[in-house]
Amino acid sequence: MHPMAFDSSNTTPNSLEKYENMFVKCVVGFLFLGVLYRFYFFTPFPPVLDSDTDFLRNSTVQGSETSHLPGVYSHARCNIFVGEWVPDSTAPFYTNKTCQSIEEHQNCMENGRPESGYVYWRWTPRDCALPRFDPVKFLRMMRNKSMAFIGDSISRNHVQSLLCILTQVEKPNSIYHDKEYRSRTWYFPLSGFTLSVVWSPFLLKSAIFENKEGVASDIPRLHFDKLDPAWVDRYKEFDYIEIGAGKWFFKTALFYKNDTIVGCHNCPQKNLTKFDFTYAYRKAIQSVLKFITSSEHKAYAFFRTSTPDHFENGEWNTGGYCNRTVPFKEGEVELIDLDLAMRKIELEEFAKAAASDKSSVLRLFDTTHLSLLRPDGHPGPYRRPHPFSGKDKSKKVQLDCLHWCLPGPIDTWNALMMHMLLHE
């Protein structure tokens, strides 16, 4: 017999007991590891953070203007919103052929955009890795939960991006839409996941006289002292929300308080008090964040910062265009004054709200900078099918340098959102 072989016939009772104990310990150890594995990978994600826990209150991020703010996402001292776009040959999750929910205005491939290089870029945070979005894991995390995207057309743009990716692994049922399909709800029956978009471009109560094509018959009426019931009345339905506004506050508008007109922005009426758009925007953000942090219903809330446009040599109605085909590099572009003013308000009001957020439900979804670097990802003239076809070559073509082609840069926002959820 080999000297290292084990002969049970020559083993004493004490030896047998020792080996039996070792065997039991090994089995228990493997079972424990199995339980840990199942818990980590398969436990449904909780809808709300523990009110006694604040993962990010004291975190700091190097090289970011938001590093001092409470409630700013940071994992291993990395701000996932600071980085650069790098070339990536990986194909997008979907195309205009595999996703049926892309609106015409964002369906750049179907509308004849001649090049597709804008889909082959990946956002890379400066000091950490950002994993590719995993739709299977996301739906597992969101089992029997509800998520809503609340705000303007950028919110609708984002929810369509998420919907396009998720429908590659599970088909949802459309269970609600308003008359103009601006607010919608889908239900994923296998996951029990409910996904909504709530159209509320001012976030405050307002009367808007504009059709889906952007043609207005009158100027908006905006109530400083009332939130929009379109989302407030449904707030308790949602476990997660992403909420944000932006460009609508540049519009001419009449302002009300206690149902009485108190002034206006950019209006021709001489007898009304004139307010800068920043006044209305600050009022809206203050009211929204106060409602979220003081509500008894603790929905996990992503506060999305505003998105800059990329019109050059004019605005959308004065001949501005966006014909770049590659992203900007760091330092090649800066926010214009109007966007800087909005960003200042967003960061200031978020800091105040997060500091008083005892339940830690509020997170900054800071997409401004990474969006600023993508002038190539907009529909431009391809918001309509084949805009340069036909006999009339001199016809005026409306351009869109604000929203995003689908697929396109906004798909990355889903990876950012999932990364934040996973690491908290």
- Which residues are part of the catalytic machinery? 153, 400, 403
The type of residue at 224 is F
Handedness of CA 133, 136, 137, 140 (dihedral sign): positive
196 in Cβ contact with 149 (< 8 Å): yes
**CB proximity list for 323: less than 8 A, separation 6 or greater:** 380
126 in Cβ contact with 85 (< 8 Å): no
The continuous run of DSSP H or E covering 256 comes out as strand 253-257
Cα separation, 118 vs 404, whole angstroms? 10
Phi and psi torsions of 154, nearest 5°: -70, -40
Using alpha carbons, select from 92, 97, 153, 100 the residue that is nearest to residue 118: 92
332 in Cβ contact with 376 (< 8 Å): no
Q: Look at phi and psi of residue 72 and say left if phi exceeds 0, alpha if psi is from -120 to 50, else beta.
A: beta
Radius of gyration of the chain from Cα atoms?
26
